[in-house]
Amino acid sequence: GEGLFRYMPEKNTFVLVPINWPQETLKQNITGIFMFDSIVYLLHETMKLSSISPAGDHIKSHKYIPAEHITKPRADLNWFFSVNKKPFMAVACQMGGLLLTDISNNTTSLIRAEGFESLITALQKVESEDYVLLGTDDGNIFRLDTQKGYQQYSLLEKLPDLRDKRVKIWSILYTADNLLWVGTDGEGVYQFNSHPKPFYNIAKGNLAQRQINHQIVRAVYEDADSNVWIGTRGNGLNMIPSGGGSTRIINTENGLSNDAVLSLAEDTQGNLWIGLDGPGVDVMNKTSGRIFHFPDDLTGGEELDFGSVYTICVDVFGTVWLGTSGNGVFGLTITGTNNNYQLQNHVHLPGKGGKNDLKGNIVFAIKEEKPNILWIGARMGGLHRYNTLTGEIQFFGQGSVDEKSLNNPDILSLLIGKDKYLWIGTSGGLNALNLAGGTYNFTHFSVRDGLPNHTVHGILEDLEGNIWVSTNKGLSRYLRNEKRFVNYNSGDGLLNNEFTDGAAFHHQPSGRFYFGGINGVDWFYPKDISISMDQPKVVLTGFRLYNQTIYPGDETGVLPRDIDFMDEIILRHNQNFFGVEFATLNYHNAPKTSFAYKLENFNIDWVDVASQREAIFTNVPHGNYRLLVRATNEDGFWSDQVRALNIVIKPPAWLTFYAYAAYTLAFILLGFLIYRYQSNRITRRQQLVLEKLNQQKEKELNQYKFEFFTNLAHEFRTPLTLIFASAASLIDKVQEAHPQKPLLRTVYINARRLQRMIEELLAFQKLDTGREKLDLRKGELVGFVAEITDIFSHYAHENEVELSFEPKESRLITSYDSEKIERILLNLLSNAIKYTPSGGSVITRLGLENENIIIEVVDTGSGISPEVLPYIFDRYYQQASPYSDLRTIPKGSGIGLTYTKSLVELLGGSIAVETHPGKGSKFTVKLPLVKDGDKAMEPVNDIQRKGRGQLLESIAEDYFHQYDDGTDFKPQGVLAQNQPSKHRILIVEDDVQLLQLLQNLLWQYYDVITAENGVEALEVLKLKRVDLVVSDVIMPEMDGLTLCKSIKDDFITSHIPVVLLTARSETEQLIEGLEKGADAYIVKPFHPRHLFVTIKKLISSREKLISQIRKDIEQSVLNEDSHLPERDHKLLQKAFSFIESNYHLESLNADQLAGQLAMSKAQLYRKIKAITGVTPHGLIKNFRLNKARQMIAEGKFSVSDIVYMTGFNNRTYFYRSYRELFGETPGEFTKRAKVKLET
């Protein structure tokens, strides 16, 4: 009553369709729904039919069928379908029949005929077919042809399983694989194959309909007239005439001596021999219809005694061979007429087991190989080869399972094929024997090879050479080319699943095969029985643990969802007894489907389980496995679709990786302990001696090392003392304004610097070797730290850094080593001030915390980056300061903090650092508070012993000698005032002292400007003219190689020579520098004269090039051998090309030339001046003058005309410029040219 809902699969929910119902009753009790061409059709309980537009905004009513119609239509039993692209609606009538409405034209027809009176309860339109299947309340199924005037007829006779049930049918489904499914009321679901394989049958039934009178058939024969003779187990002989008509019965009532017919055959005279289950054999003269009973009616054979003839064979000579039950084989040669038969000769092969006897008395099969050679098969007596001329019998029995014997002696049937293969049917399988070979070897076939059953009752060969056999489980066709069996049973349309012995016949003219069984006769044409190549898909249907079914989502947690939707199952180690159930979606004779599985890493080969639908595994070890399942179709064709399922069985806890790792570690540890124990036992005896020896050697080695470093330091100290003493003496004697005084001061400072580094190394070596001893003395620590901090106040002030001391205790009496604490504070404070920029602050704090002395040095400097922090206490590690204004501080030895840390640890304390890059650092020294010392309190401060002034000077030299850098010396200023130079050199060096040294060396000869790195140098080059660059290689921000490449790549600066200074002397480094464009490469340390000569040579070469160009600028540009760089050469060519085109214009100037070359006027001036030695204006003027000289030499124009033709507007200026450039006037040049011409 709520209307129409639409299912939304993406949300898994139903949504109400918004429809404007014209009547409220229409949305109530909707009994049918159908969509066709995007239109939704609805059938209501009131039998009204309506349709809804695709947009859902319009509803239309169709033809109305009143519920009170005479046929009493049932709105609840309705069906919609389409025929020829037209929609139809069918409604069942309570009175029987069907109301069929063509919705496209609103026409309704009543479909009702005789036998169609029952209520229709199910309907199925068969896709791609022109008929509808109907199911009724009384269990009938009709076919309604939609293209033949709605003709209907019952299909019940074709559905024998359903025919006798007559149960109500609720549903019908016809699938694309030609299967009809019928759902019944209480009897389950029935399945029928509407297109079975073309097997035909003759069953027990109405004789008028050419059926037979008994269901068990023991013999079948079709004569030359195509009459079919069928021998039954107890109702005599049935003959179905070829020309039509009822089946004819021949039994004991009309001449047959026994109603149990066992075999049939026709002799060369056209007589039908009939083997019976009784004495003798009957022979029918088909011409007269008379039946004779042999041996009673056989003249000369009255003495013969045989019966129960199971097989009859007529050889090429006309002899009839009879295989009997209990009497062996009889061979009868007979002559006679229609009324009298005489025995000419007979042979009896008894089954007594003698030399020329058969091995068994019961013979079911005789076949002729060729004239005079018969093959005889006996029940439980094996196979015999009988030579009718010599009487020799060759026996083949069952032996070991090999190729030289039968696999079973119980022979039921024989066949000799066209290729001379003898096929032997036994109760233990099928055998094949190649008669064409010299040696008889048997091939065996059993159920393992694909046979449905081991009992082979009959054998036939089709035209393709394939072998057909009848068994107790249907027929089987052996495809010899593919070497596999294809089996057929009642699911394929056969009447029989169990066949009888010898009841097999091949009618050669027609190609028909006949096989008799316990339900009648099956016959067919082998060529019409095709083999299905369908590949069924395997689906997983269930999972069991310890024979208990596991359901999705149950408490075991094994299957979170249905197993067929899973690719992997994870089991615990104790869940290794399991089974996987499977099936296929092929319903064509599903019982014939065979399965095979393989559990990779567990099964080596595929396991064939025939029709079993479960793979069971027990006691599977833990590990990763992959279950593969494949299946055949109904004809035994293996599908390529293999279903895979990963199965992971986890190991127990004691077999996991971690357990093995623990076992390994325990084993290693145990081995190590054993080894350690044994080693200790062996070495313990030598330990005392070795310890003493090692201690002695170590002591001596430390002593040697200490003495070596001490001696080496003393050796270094002597020449260093001479150096800085001499330098100090010269500094005192040389006046302050003397130009050499900065050089002397540099020598003195760096000699002092080297001496300090040696002292640091010696002190650190002494501490590292354990020779440093503590000298604890009682004293007052607050004042001591205050004095040390105060020493740095002067230098903090000079660096514009605020330095303060903040003690938390007013007085602190303790025992301490004043020298080591002094060293610690000196290192920490000097570093703090060193890396704190102007305007920053440094704080020293002293306090007590938990019986520990806490000394903190806090700065607001550059801080320490996180990448550097782990290494600051490592030996020889240095961090560059990020502040450019701290470049004046030379680098230390890299052991200051390492030495500090060692001193702190020697005092029994620890040192830690907290840092924030860009905000500062805090070093915290924690020392144990020692209240009682070894020595009494006494004055301990170096301050009191040396005096404040002396200590200040010592510290200045040790820690801040770099500030005395001669900044009061102004070489550039002196140069500017006293000795200007025409050449300007740019020095690029990050080491301040080396930068100052280079300035001092070069300022007397050149105009020197400086930069501290490559970035600054490029900025200078943009603003100032530079004639040569001297650069260090290793610099921060931009190194010398990058700077050199940037200079040479820049069009404006590419002409500037570059000299690189480096401490890297490897050949590869030199080559790299030259490749970057360097004009010279000087390795540190270098002699100043080397630098002077290099600079002089480069500048001189540049001047010579400019001088050469100035003589005739245009000719130099046009000359390809000029030494100009390629880029400068192209620039001048472009410039002269522009001047050549415009030199006659008086308005031509440097601004126009700069615009043409896409350069600023300043850039053009600097570039042209650097290349040619003249200004851009001079370049234009010289070009005009050279053109004028050329025109004067040609003599075509007067000088006055030439003046204006070359762009000059003033004759006086022209004459003066001409004389300045060429050293003569135009008139003098003309006279000289005439004299030269006359000469």
Helix (H) or strand (E) holding 1165: helix 1161-1172
Give residue 451's pLDDT: 94
Can you give the pLDDT at residue 1212?
77
Among 919, 906, 806, smallest CA distance to 856 is for 806
- Cα–Cα distance, 1122 to 1108 (Å, whole number): 9
Structure tokens at 848: 């007590």
Full-model pTM:
0.52
Number of alpha helices (DSSP H) and beta strands (DSSP E) in the chain: 23, 67
Helix/strand/coil for 183: strand
Q: Rounded distance, CA 1162 to CA 1174, Å?
A: 14
Strands laid side by side in the 614-617 sheet:
548-550, 538-545, 578-584, 614-617
- In this predicted structure, what is the pLDDT of residue 1085? 67
Per the CB < 8 A criterion, the answer to whether 914 and 921 are in contact is yes
Give the closest residue to 496 by CA, choosing from 240, 216, 261. 216
Alpha-carbon distance 704 to 699, whole Å?
Answer: 9
Short-list 101, 126, 256, 254, CA closest to 178? 126
Q: Exposed, middle or buried by CB within 10 Å (0-12, 13-18, 19+), for 483?
A: exposed
Under DSSP, is residue 162 helix (H, G, I), strand (E, B) or coil?
helix
What is the residue whose two structure tokens read 């039946």?
A: 291
Helix (H, G, I), strand (E, B) or coil at 72: coil
Residue 679: predicted pLDDT: 86
The 10 Å Cβ neighbour count of residue 883 is 15
* Count of Cβ atoms closer than 10 Å to residue 197 Cβ: 20
User: Judging by beta carbons within 10 Å of its beta carbon (0-12, 13-18, 19+), is residue 312 exposed, middle or buried?
Assistant: buried
At residue 11, φ and ψ (nearest 5 deg) are: -110, -5
User: Residue 72: what are its φ and ψ, rounded to 5°?
Assistant: 55, 70
pLDDT tens sequence across 803-841: 888 888 888 898 888 888 888 888 888 888 888 888 888
Q: Three-state SS across 708-725?
A: HHHHHHHHHHHHHHHHHH
Tokens of 278: 């009784």
Q: Which domains, from first to last, does the chain contain?
A: 22-200 (2.130.10.10), 538-655 (2.60.40.10), 684-772 (1.10.287), 775-960 (3.30.565.10), 971-1106 (3.40.50.2300), 1112-1238 (1.10.10.60)
Do the Cβ atoms of 231 and 217 come closer than 8 Å?
A: yes
The whole-angstrom separation of Cα 1220 and Cα 1226 is 12
What's residue 1235's pLDDT?
74
- Burial class from Cβ neighbours inside 10 Å (0-12, 13-18, 19+) for residue 54 reads exposed
Pairing of strands 98-102, 107-111: antiparallel
The confidence score (pLDDT) of residue 941 equals 45
What is the Cα–Cα distance from 53 to 62, expressed in whole angstroms?
A: 13
Is the distance from CB of 645 to CB of 580 less than 8 angstroms?
yes
227 token code pair: 């009459």
- Dist. CA 823–CA 925, nearest whole Å: 13
Q: Please report the pLDDT score of residue 332 as a whole number.
A: 96
Q: What is the 3-state secondary structure (H, E, C) of 1074-1124?
A: HHCCCCEEEECCCCHHHHHHHHHHHHHHHHHHHHHHHHCHHHHHHCCCCCC
What gap in Å lies between CA 1024 and CA 1009, rounded to an integer? 10
426-432 contact pairs (CB < 8 A, 24+): 426/454, 426/456, 427/454, 427/455, 427/456, 428/454, 429/454, 429/456, 430/456, 430/459, 430/467, 430/469, 430/478, 431/406, 431/407
Q: How far apart are CA 218 and CA 259, in angstroms?
A: 11
Render pLDDT for 583-608 as a digit per residue (tens, 0 to 9): 998 887 788 889 999 999 999 999 99
The predicted structure's pLDDT at residue 1082: 82
Angle at 1130 between CA 1124 and CA 1133, to 5 degrees: 100
1114/1104 Cα distance (integer angstroms): 17
Rg (the chain; Cα; Å)? 61
Count of all residues that appear for the chain in the document: 1239
| Predicted pLDDT of residue 1112 | 58
Residue closest to 1052 by CA, chosen among 1166, 967, 944, 971: 1166
Residues of the chain short of pLDDT 50, as ranges, are 881-891, 934, 936-954, 956-959, 961-980
Instruction: Return all residues near 323 (Cβ < 8 A) that are at least 6 apart.
Output: 309, 310, 311, 312, 313, 329, 363, 364, 365, 366, 376
Tokens standing for 876?
A: 């020889």
Per DSSP, the three-state class of 1009 is strand
* 8-state DSSP, 830: H
pLDDT at 864: 86
Is the Cβ–Cβ distance between 315 and 295 less than 8 Å? no
